[in-house]
Chains A and B, each alone.
Chain A
Amino acid sequence: MSRSIYEKLRKIPDGYIGMISILFMLIPVLYPLGLPLPVSAPTKGFYQTIVNLPPGSIICIDSGGGMASWSEFESSMLAMLKLLLSKPIKWFSWGTSSDGPVMTDILLKRIDPAKTFGKVYGKDYLTLGYIGADEMTIAAVAANTHSVASVDFFGKSLSQYPLWNEVNNAKDFALIISISGSCTNMDVESRQWNAIYGKKILEINMACCSPMSINYFPSIMPGGLWGAKGGTELEVLSGFPGPGARLTDASNLGLIPFIVFLVLGNIGYIGTKYLMKEEEGAKK
């Protein structure tokens, strides 16, 4: 083959790659493939840890996702909330990002815990607003939970809620669930919850953070959900269908063009390099 073909393979215009990728994304959106998704060990760990909690356990959830990544968090958070509400356990959540409590509230309104699961707000679950400063606030919540907030997400005084009177510090929490958009989240959580109080942490994060968070699996982090795929796996395990299945299925073909172009680019690189060597050898 001539050198020009290899060089063309190395210099495919960006626009072609982008357009073909969008076309491949659209195919499963219009015609769902329905491929099965194997459930990974961290998701099984996430599910089993919650299911094995004794009745009456209290979970502390720090909700820190971003609205811009709604598609990544929606399925995981929805499946987690449904699972928690279906069990005889209690939980309260507070925000480590400005979007986290809003996202939790939107999903709870969609679930309608009172109607669907018979849960009472203030007795079985509680939602607080955004309390800034990340690690400092986690330290404050763990040491003395009552000191970091006086009102809930809706602006009402917390002292009226029975659940708020049951939580005082980290000793009252059976488990921590951390929802975050930061890949170094587990470093922070393990410092404040596990190193000091020995608490186990479950994580919900974006797909890109699994390679960094997996460091803590399974000793400190018995389970984790990363991206829409994690949410889909939990939907399958817990038996609560949600938006994850459609989203994960529709993502199936989107990366195939990139992989193909990557291979073509490498063929172009190797071919160019091989031909250059031949030309240099011929000159000598």
Chain B
Amino acid sequence: MGLTALFLIEYFAAAEFKAIHDVKGELTRWGTIVSGFMLVFGVVVLLRHHFLQIAVRKVNWKDKLYSGVFFITFLGFLGMGFATPARVSGADYQWIYQNMYRPTGTAITALCFFWCIYGGYRTFTVRSWESAAIGLGAVIYMLRLLPVGPYFIPPIEPFGDWLLSTINVGGTRGGTIAVGLGALVLGLRTLIGKETGMLEAVKE
């Protein structure tokens, strides 16, 4: 609450009030450092989960195997990363990262292509104005994005650009303003101490 108020005062304070700007700068660095520790905390929780899977919980041998593979990979990458002063800038680490992590990460994300087309085939029917709008918008913009669209249907290029910069902007601009106003309300609630969701998540 106090921090939010301080940042709000700093936003409107003139550049001459150096002390308040310096305090804000230092506090943002504290936020950066604390968030780094929170990320490490998340890793610790994940490690704890997989450790319990292997050592404590009565689960299928396959689940223990997957947790084991997780641990071996984690320790392997950690060892490679910290083994040399170069850390992630080292050529060996980058080779492993490019040729082992990249294909798995890319393929997992690429699988979504299939889920999207299966879902789109079922959902984008002209049963209402809304579903027709989403289907039409998707098809026109898809054809605009790929070279095959403007090549075989030349008007798709200016029409697609016009749709992107008018109808789409109208839609998303309203959403952006709504999100901005919502964020302001959230900030005000934090300022007056009413927003305690994150703190109440910690059960005593």
A residues contacting B by CB (< 8 A) are: 12, 14, 17-18, 21, 33, 35-38, 40-41, 66-71, 101-102, 105-106, 129, 131-133, 136-137, 139-140, 143-144, 147-148, 153-155, 187, 196, 207, 210-212, 214-215, 217, 227, 229, 248-249, 251-253, 255-256, 258-259, 261-262, 265-266, 269-270
CA distance A157 to B26 in the complex (A): 21
- List, in ascending order, chain A residues with CB within 8 A of B58's CB: none
CB–CB A259/B169 < 8 A: no
Q: Is B44 an interface residue (CB 8 A)?
A: no
A269-B125 in contact given A155-B87, A255-B146 (Cβ < 8 Å): yes
CB–CB B31/A215 < 8 A: no
Q: Is B106 an interface residue (CB 8 A)?
A: yes
- List, in ascending order, chain B residues with CB within 8 A of A105's CB: 89, 94
- List, in ascending order, chain A residues with CB within 8 A of B173's CB: 215
Q: Is B124 an interface residue (CB 8 A)?
A: yes
CB–CB A36/B105 < 8 A: no
B40 to chain A, nearest CB (A): 10
CB–CB A18/B114 < 8 A: yes
B111 to chain A, nearest CB (A): 10
A127 to chain B, nearest CB (A): 9
Q: Is B161 an interface residue (CB 8 A)?
A: yes
In the complex, which of the residues A36, A129, A269 has the most CB atoms of chain B within 10 Å of its own CB atom?
A269
CB–CB A249/B29 < 8 A: no
CA distance A229 to B117 in the complex (A): 20
CB–CB B105/A35 < 8 A: no
CA distance A65 to B179 in the complex (A): 24
- List, in ascending order, chain B residues with CB within 8 A of A227's CB: 145
- Pick from B11, B121, B150: contact of A38, CB under 8 Å: B150
25 cross-chain CB contacts under 8 A = A12-B121, A14-B114, A17-B118, A21-B114, A35-B148, A38-B150, A68-B108, A69-B106, A69-B109, A70-B102, A106-B94, A133-B35, A133-B36, A143-B24, A147-B25, A147-B29, A148-B32, A196-B11, A214-B169, A227-B145, A259-B142, A262-B121, A262-B124, A265-B124, A270-B126
Q: List 4 tightest A-B contacts by C-beta distance, closest first.
A: A68-B105, A133-B35, A35-B147, A133-B32
Q: What residue in chain B is nearest A130 (Cβ atoms)?
A: B88
CB–CB B25/A143 < 8 A: yes
- List, in ascending order, chain B residues with CB within 8 A of A153's CB: 89
A132-B147 in contact given A143-B21, A155-B87, A255-B142 (Cβ < 8 Å): no
CB–CB A251/B21 < 8 A: no
CB–CB B29/A148 < 8 A: yes
Q: What 14 additional pairs, Cβ within 8 angstroms, besides A71-B106, A147-B26, A154-B89?
A: A14-B114, A21-B114, A68-B106, A70-B102, A139-B28, A187-B176, A210-B164, A248-B146, A255-B142, A256-B148, A258-B142, A266-B126, A269-B126, A269-B127
CA distance A217 to B172 in the complex (A): 13
CB–CB B172/A211 < 8 A: yes
- Pick from A35, A137, A248: contact of B32, CB under 8 Å: A137
CB–CB B125/A133 < 8 A: no
- List, in ascending order, chain B residues with CB within 8 A of A212's CB: 172, 176
CB–CB A214/B165 < 8 A: yes
Q: Is B2 an interface residue (CB 8 A)?
A: no
CB–CB B172/A215 < 8 A: yes
- List, in ascending order, chain A residues with CB within 8 A of B97's CB: 67, 102
CB–CB A211/B109 < 8 A: no
Q: What residue in chain A is nearest B11 (Cβ atoms)?
A: A196
- Pick from B88, B105, B157: contact of A66, CB under 8 Å: B105
